[in-house]
Amino acid sequence: MPNKKVLIITYFFPPCNLTAGQRSLGWAKYLKKFGYDPIIVTRNWEHVINGPEDMHHVSGKTLITEENEDYTVHYLPFRGNLRDQLYSRYGKSKFVLVRKALSLIELIGHHFITSLIPFSNLYRFADKYISDNQDVAAVIISGNPFELFRFGYCLHHTHRLPWIADYRDDWNTSNVNESRGLLDAFLRKLEGRSERKYIGTASCITTVSKHYAEKISGFTGVPGYVVQNGFFPADYTNYQDLEPFDEFTVLYNGMLYPSQQIEVVLDALKQLVDKYPEHRSLIKIRFPGILFLKEVAARVEKLMQGYEDVLWMSPRIPRSEVLTMQAKSHLLLMISHRDAKGIPSSKIYEYLGLGKPVLVCPGDGDVLDETFGPYELGFIANTNLEALEILEKHFNAFLQQRNVVESTDRSYALKFTREEQTKVLAGILDQILPRS
């Protein structure tokens, strides 16, 4: 029986250097093993992303199609809209009011007019591709940007194909985004209307945790399934058994949101420094990439006043360098969100792939605890005192040149590979597609 074609529409895909591109890449690499031929539709990523402003730049001039034994990918030029072009050409200091007005028009208008979406060429390409290839069996759309889900809604009405709305994050059910006044409340209400409308035509939703699946399914009325992010084992082969840093190093990699209580572990780390003043120079906490967002870095700097010698921060740096830092660190850090469940950072799987000790602080009573609780190298702390106890245990092991856990079983981590999660996705496709 020949494989069934599945069209995957995703904004992020390699060579995009953002973590979001890895989710759809995993499906692209492994779906063929489970009876599906993936065709990827994405935007061009010739312009390297070093900061949020780089997302606005024109990238690519013509359609680029690449094929390999696992998948086909179509890279479409990104032109952006007038707002993007103004930002790209003149920077953020000029035409501020004009750009704000254009942004507001887009924020309202894209719910009604597809062409107002800056990357609507992805929709037009997908529409024509399906018309020209009647053997496409299903569509998967991975958000965010959540405007992509409008494409699924429109494609379903035109072609009557089953489609899956894949959420890397939740949209209107999010506990992380706070309301910012009447205009924001109006826009959120409009988005809620669109989310229910668009997703109401999907066969199901997929997302990264059980809590998300339950929330989104309850909001949209569409069945929800969990497909975790996972990791590629081959990505970490060259990072095993590297010589650790000379200093005892705790490392946090990734975005840091206001709802994440970083102060719990930072207070514990400062207590560790105060408790071992003779070894102060041997203690370090690293935040690679945190200078990507200046306000986030400022928050950490303020919390670490008086302990600047212990703190290390950097702008966004190549992934290979970050992986090397993580592999050389003694303890990797995960931080839950205050009063929020089901937010599994993609760093979970990177940490598992590296096979390093992980401190979850504070725990979330949900996906972080469920993932790292059974893990031999997982340590969970909910208070400063608990965090200090774990830090001190690892620091003393460092001073004695030994590991807290001397040997581990890698089989647990291998449950979270991209291939295993793609197998889950293929099982969902098997359920929603008619049997031939």
Give the whole-angstrom CA distance, residue 144 versus residue 372: 27
Question: How many Cβ atoms are within 10 Å of 218's Cβ, its own excluded?
Answer: 11
Both structure tokens of 302: 């303020």
| HSE-CB for 52 with a 13 A CA cutoff | 7
Both structure tokens of 280: 């102060």
Question: How many Cβ atoms are within 10 Å of 378's Cβ, its own excluded?
Answer: 20
Both structure tokens of 41: 């539709």
DSSP per-residue letters across 62-91: S-EEEE-SS-EEEEEPB---HHHHHHHHH-
- Terminal CA-CA length for the chain: 9
Q: Which residue has the tokens 């340590």?
A: 379
Under a CB-based contact definition with an 8 Å cutoff, are residues 321 and 328 in contact?
A: no
E strand or H helix at 321: helix 319-328
**How far does CA 185 lie from the centroid of its chain?**
25
CB-based burial label for 100 (10 Å; 0-12, 13-18, 19+): exposed
Nearest to 73 by CA among 107, 114, 100, 37: 37
Both structure tokens of 28: 């692209």
What's the confidence (pLDDT) of residue 410? Answer: 82
Amino acid occupying residue 424: V
Which residues contact residue 192 at a Cβ distance below 8 angstroms, ignoring those fewer than 6 apart? Answer: 172, 219
Question: How many Cβ atoms are within 10 Å of 106's Cβ, its own excluded?
Answer: 19
- The radius of gyration of the chain's CA atoms, rounded to the nearest angstrom, is 23
Under a CB-based contact definition with an 8 Å cutoff, are residues 251 and 332 in contact?
A: yes
What's the confidence (pLDDT) of residue 106? Answer: 83
Under a CB-based contact definition with an 8 Å cutoff, are residues 325 and 350 in contact?
A: no
What's the confidence (pLDDT) of residue 148? Answer: 97
Q: How far is CA 183 from CA 92, 179, 257, in A?
A: 22, 9, 23
Domains assigned to the chain? 4-229+418-432 (3.40.50.2000), 233-416 (3.40.50.2000)
What's the confidence (pLDDT) of residue 242? Answer: 93
| Mean pLDDT split into 10-residue runs, the chain, 436 residues | 93 90 96 97 84 71 95 93 65 70 82 92 98 97 95 97 95 72 85 96 95 95 95 93 95 87 96 97 95 87 96 91 96 88 79 94 90 93 96 96 78 93 97 80
Q: How far is CA 105 from CA 92, 154, 184, 221, 224, in A?
A: 18, 21, 14, 29, 32
Phi, psi of 287 (to 5 degrees): -125, 75
Nearest to 148 by CA among 102, 206, 194: 194
